[in-house]
Amino acid sequence: MSTLPTNLKHIALFFERLPGIGEKTANRLAMYLLRMPESELKIFGENVSTLKSRTKLCKRCFNLTEKELCSICEDNRRDTSKITVVETVLDLLSFEVGNIYNGTYHVLHGKIDPLNSIGPEDIYVNQLLDRVKELQKADSTLEEIILATNPDMEGEATAMYIMKKLKSQNLKLKISRLAYGLPMGANLEYADYGTLGKAIEGRTKY
Ligand SMILES: [Zn+2]
């Protein structure tokens, strides 16, 4: 590493700070950049330097955007009868990349985690409740809230909290939770009892 020229070394050291990147890979990536056309590197550099200032949260769903509304909220081909509630933008991306859902989202940017002093007011829960209330008042097409927080303790607590809050508002809405179960191609013999229990509980008509 010390034999690299300063600029290249700084770039390699930066890559090394990224998750999942070790020293060798960092060096390889820095070398790769060196071989790229100057014009592409310029555009990349500009994108990096304006990343923070240009990226904001969508006013409606709190997904990332450079405008007032994100590309999903702006897309009138999306099914606005459904809002899927996710913990992070990466979770939203999992649905999007998989191309398995055409509704809208609400990103909480976290989950309720009392052990780490994260309460409902620290994530975007109230914004969701307000959004739903407004939509119901406006007689919108909203029919269903899909709670897609993670199936861990905090994710469950967050889903439960939102479900109770929504129910207390007496809204004419279907509230659903992602099904638990076995991964595709799984073998029952190797499934843990928790997953197997949830899978038989959440069985569907065949
Ligand atoms: Zn949005």
The DSSP bridge partners found for residue 64 are 57
Per-residue confidence band for 80, with pLDDT thresholds at 50, 70 and 90 = very high
CATH T-level topology, domain 6-54: Helicase, Ruva Protein; domain 3 (1.10.8)
> String of b and e for 81-105 (b: at least 16 CB within 10 Å)?
ebbbbbbebebbeebbeeeebebbb
C-alpha of residue 61 to centroid of ligand 1, in Å:
4
Q: Hey, what amino acid is at 174? A: K
In this predicted model, what pLDDT tens digit does every residue of 33-66 receive, in sequence order? Answer: 999 999 999 999 999 999 999 999 999 999 999 9
Residue 177 clears pLDDT 70, i.e. is over it = yes
Dihedral sign, CA of 69, 70, 73, 74? positive
Question: Tens digit of pLDDT for each residue in 113-161?
Answer: 999 999 999 999 999 999 999 998 888 889 999 999 998 999 999 999 9
CA of 104 to the centre of ligand 1 (A): 8
Delimit the CATH 1.10.8.420 region(s) of the chain: 6-54
Strand partners, 147: 85, 177
Ligand 1 centroid, distance to 90 Cα (angstroms): 14
pLDDT at 96: 94
Please tell me the distance between residue 173's alpha carbon and the centre of ligand 1 in angstroms: 21
With b meaning 16 or more CB within 10 Å and e meaning fewer, what string describes 13-25? eebbeeeeeeeee
CATH 3.40.50.300 is the classification of domain 62-177? no
Both structure tokens of 98: 């998989």
Indicate the pLDDT class of residue 198, thresholds 50, 70 and 90: confident
Q: In angstroms, what is the span from residue 67 Cα to ligand 1's centroid?
A: 10
Q: Where in the chain is the domain with CATH 3.40.1360.10?
A: 62-177
| Cα 59 off chain centre by | 16
What is the CA(158)–ligand 1 centre distance, in A?
21
